[in-house]
Amino acid sequence: MRTSLRRLFWLIITLIILALIYVAYVMLRPSGSEPVAPVAGAPASMTDPIKRGEYLARAADCVACHTAPGGKPFAGGFRFKLPFGSIYGTNITADKETGIGNWTDDQFVAAVREGTGPQGNLYPAMPYTSYTAMSRDDVLAIKAYLFSLPPVKQANRANELSFPFDQRWGMKFWNLAFFDNQRFAPDPQKDEQWNRGAYLATALGHCAECHTPRTFAFNLNQGKSLSGEVVQGWLAGNITPDKDTGIGNWSDAQLSQFLAKGHAEGRSSASGPMAEVVQNSTQFLTQEDNIALVKYLRNIEPVKTETSSQVNLQPKGAMNATAVLPGDQDDSPGRQLFAGDCSGCHQWNGDGRQTPYASLKGSTAVNDPAGRSVVQAILHGTQLTVDGKQVLMPDFGAKYSDDEVAAVANYVLRQFGDKNGSVTPKQVADQRKQ
């Protein structure tokens, strides 16, 4: 009994100390105006404040998390499925009752850069841990753009979180441990183009939020920054310049094309969440910003990950096949399913028919032995709209059983990646829920 009381006493003392530290942090943090940012998010030639805000909102991909499937832009309702429940994106239109129409500039800046809103602390599903690097001018330009759009009256959905994750005040302590409230500082050892790419990738594009592994506390593992993570069931690949497991062997042209079009000749096509990033964000970057982003990604610390996922650009199965004929006598269930439903678009040699987006050779997805993105694409399909044209892969989740999805996924991994796929029916059943 005495031991339990002693532990309770020290727990209370610890919480009080943490609370005092947080209060001191709030009182001492800077607010209001700040020095002119060393890097601006929008091109200098873009002087119209609303156009500038629109460019920044696209670069930051605000619409993706604040728009429900089939819903009105920025009106909220998008669902984030987390291990401890669900969080819903909020209405950030200028509606005064259900949106942010009554928010002051300081309130908007605090929400975007510090994760604190009028209702309390925000959860880090809102990437304020990256947006904190944005300049005040850029944040307020986004606000001006949002307020120029028609307000949408749509009430926010309540989050569905289990205890204790439903206690917003707990985020104060998470922020103390993991949140660094700092603006972007250019690297004096790098040139202007690299620093611009760094601002686009870190502050605005928040690439790390999807491509960096998280710890058990849900904070980013900075020691493995941009080395890949699983997001909503999809594999967000290693985008460091490691030559074996990252993008080190991609050409500048391939990287630029992927960001602008969602497809790189001889490499991957964007799918799942990355297709949304291209659709909503990176296709709208100017050519200069596209090149700056490529330069940044080319010149960061490479991180080597699991070499079993190394991309094979000349897989035996695909190289021995033609567009219309397979190169082996395999009669497995996966091959039979591929023959009936997949070969017409992807072709036996993986070159793709009618559209280069259907090509499979060189794809990161078909070289992941766990087949996570392949399974997601089969179950849920994927789509991408670029330059006003839609590319669509239909879903087969309702048509295929878990065993059939696993079979065709493992066949695709073998045929187009030379990988021994490890996809199981149980994995498929789990991914159906994502």
The mean pLDDT value for 21-29 works out to 46
Among 15-24, 57-66, 87-96, 144-153, the least confident range: 15-24
Q: 165 with 41, same domain?
A: yes
Q: 32 with 167, same domain?
A: yes
Among 10-19, 251-260, 302-311, 316-325, the least confident range: 10-19
Predicted confidence at residue 227, as pLDDT, reads 95
Residue at 185 is within a domain? no
In this structure, what is the dihedral angle of CA atoms 80, 56, 218, 121, given to the nearest 10 degrees?
Answer: -80
Q: 326 with 300, same domain?
A: no
The mean pLDDT value for 349-366 works out to 93
Chain centroid offset of residue 384 CA = 15
pLDDT at 24 over 50: no
DSSP string, 118-175: TTEEPPTTS-HHHHTTS-HHHHHHHHHHHHHSPP---PPPPPEE-TTTT-GGGHHHHH
Last residue of a domain, one of 294, 309, 324: 309
Predicted confidence at residue 321, as pLDDT, reads 94
Task: Give kind and range of the element (H or E) at residue 328.
Answer: none
What tens digit of pLDDT does each residue of 82-141 get? 777 888 999 999 999 999 999 999 999 999 999 998 888 888 888 999 999 999 999 999
Sign (positive or negative) of CA dihedral 241, 235, 63, 36: negative
Q: Is the peptide bond before 164 cis (omega within 30 degrees of 0)?
A: yes
Predicted confidence at residue 25, as pLDDT, reads 47
pLDDT at 171 over 90: no
Confidence tier at 64 by pLDDT (50, 70, 90): very high
Residue at 1 is within a domain? no
Q: 41 with 150, same domain?
A: yes
Range of the domain at 334: 316-432
pLDDT at 31 over 80: no
Predicted confidence at residue 125, as pLDDT, reads 83
Q: 92 with 126, same domain?
A: yes
Among 165-179, 282-296, 332-346, 404-418, the least confident range: 165-179
The mean pLDDT value for 403-425 works out to 97
Task: Give kind and range of the element (H or E) at residue 425.
Answer: helix 425-432
Residue at 6 is within a domain? no
Q: 200 with 303, same domain?
A: yes
Give the residue with greater pLDDT, 92 vs 44: 92
Domains in the chain, number? 3
CATH number of the domain where residue 397 is located = 1.10.760.10
Predicted confidence at residue 17, as pLDDT, reads 55
The mean pLDDT value for 282-310 works out to 95
Mean per-residue pLDDT of the chain: 90
Give the residue with greater pLDDT, 126 vs 400: 400
On whether the CB atoms of residues 389 and 291 are closer than 8 A, the answer is no
Predicted confidence at residue 35, as pLDDT, reads 59
Q: 249 with 331, same domain?
A: no
Between CA 235 and CA 376 the distance in angstroms is 9
Q: 39 with 70, same domain?
A: yes
pLDDT > 70: percent of the chain: 91
The mean pLDDT value for 280-297 works out to 97
What tens digit of pLDDT does each residue of 322-357 get? 999 998 878 899 999 999 999 999 999 999 988 999
Predicted confidence at residue 118, as pLDDT, reads 87
Q: 238 with 351, same domain?
A: no
Residue at 3 is within a domain? no
Confidence tier at 420 by pLDDT (50, 70, 90): very high
The mean pLDDT value for 376-382 works out to 97
Q: 34 with 173, same domain?
A: yes
CA distances from 323 to 179, 320, 411, 419 (A): 51, 10, 17, 20
Q: 282 with 363, same domain?
A: no
pLDDT at 38 over 70: no
Residue at 136 is within a domain? yes
Predicted confidence at residue 32, as pLDDT, reads 42
Residue at 4 is within a domain? no
pLDDT > 90: percent of the chain: 75
pLDDT at 431 over 80: yes
Predicted confidence at residue 5, as pLDDT, reads 46
Q: 104 with 156, same domain?
A: yes
Select the highest-mean-pLDDT range: 4-13, 36-45, 392-401: 392-401
